[in-house]
Amino acid sequence: MDNPEIGQPDETADVAVPVTLTVNGRRHDLMLDPRVTLLDALRNYLGFTGTKKGCDQGQCGACTVLVADRRIDSCLTLAVMNQDVPIVTIEGLGAPESLHPIQKAFIEHDGFQCGYCTSGQIMSAVALLEHEKPPASDTEIRERMSGNLCRCGAYPGIVEAIRCVRDAARNPVAGEAA
């Protein structure tokens, strides 16, 4: 369903239906084939290309976004199933001049190499730290991030970044001094 023109309806669709998505706090009214995945709607119709298409089978985590504060693989859900809920993509976390703490930590602790998986890794880390019970150990961080693959092997930096943000949240005074 890759569509070269962002925002244009899919002319091959048998039936287009109205779909309203709230992405990064902004409402978007679309006409989509009901079979369009949330990933394809975000990338091809709305231009949120920070969310990556990796395996397209829900196994790599490159397409991870937050839907109602829960991390999901956007390649495994249909856009029409995600109406009337807040969706946050990597573009909604921070701006270059005002990065989210986990984005800063990924940079500081070399949590990425090629960068392809980074947006999915960051979105999973945000969910892990802000919307779930924070992990108690490095082993638990690795286990709970296991749905996000990094082919470059930046796992030590990713774990270190998550640990750093977790520890700063637990002890803000020590986090500021670090």
Terminal Cα-to-Cα distance of the chain (whole angstroms): 46
Read off the pTM.
Answer: 0.86
Other CB atoms closer than 10 Å to residue 79's CB: what's the count? 27
Contacts of 19 (CB under 8 A, 6+ apart): 29, 30, 31, 32, 36, 41, 79, 80, 83
Residues 129 and 166 sit within 8 Å (Cβ to Cβ): yes
Residues 167 and 102 sit within 8 Å (Cβ to Cβ): no
- Per-residue pLDDT 10s for the chain (178 aa) are 445 456 665 555 568 999 999 999 999 999 999 999 999 999 999 999 999 999 999 999 999 999 999 999 999 999 999 999 999 999 999 888 999 999 999 999 999 888 899 999 999 999 999 999 889 999 999 999 999 999 988 999 999 999 999 999 888 765 454 4
Architecture per CATH, domain 17-92, reads as: Roll (3.10)
CATH 3.10.20.30 domain span(s) along the chain: 17-92
CATH 1.10.150.120 domain span(s) along the chain: 101-177
Q: Which CATH class is domain 101-177?
A: mainly alpha
